[in-house]
Amino acid sequence: AKELNMYVIFGMTEKVSEHDSLYNTSVFLGPSGIIGKYHKINLWEGGNEHLCWKKGKDTCVFDSPFGKVGLMICIDMHYWLGPELAKEGANFFNLTVFVSAVENESNELD
């Protein structure tokens, strides 16, 4: 990001060493380094996310040259988080997701 003077948002598993916990994390990176991070608040109840990751606590809205950016991860979009980020002033939203598909004859992703 520094070399190309750009902004990047990506997802990763982050280990927070203070309490040795893993979080599903969205990272907002700019030319000068990390602008902010968001730990997923709404873990997917239909999966086993709670076995890997700890639930985040705080919403995140960050300033950028193009406005305020709110971060969400996957299932967050089905809960209260989007409207809350808008109340906190977010002009742009980034939703980091992982979508998987099982190969079959009617694969809608083809």
Percent of the chain surpassing pLDDT 70: 89
Find the angle CA(86)-CA(73)-CA(110) to the nearest 5 degrees: 115
- What tens digit of pLDDT does each residue of 70-90 get? 999 998 888 888 899 999 999
Q: Which whole number is the average pLDDT over 43-70? A: 89
pLDDT at 4 (0 to 100): 94
- DSSP strand pairing (8-16 vs 21-30): antiparallel
Q: What is the DSSP letter of 49?
A: H
Burial of 2 per CB tally in 10 Å (0-12, 13-18, 19+): exposed
Domains of the chain, by residue range, sit at: 8-96
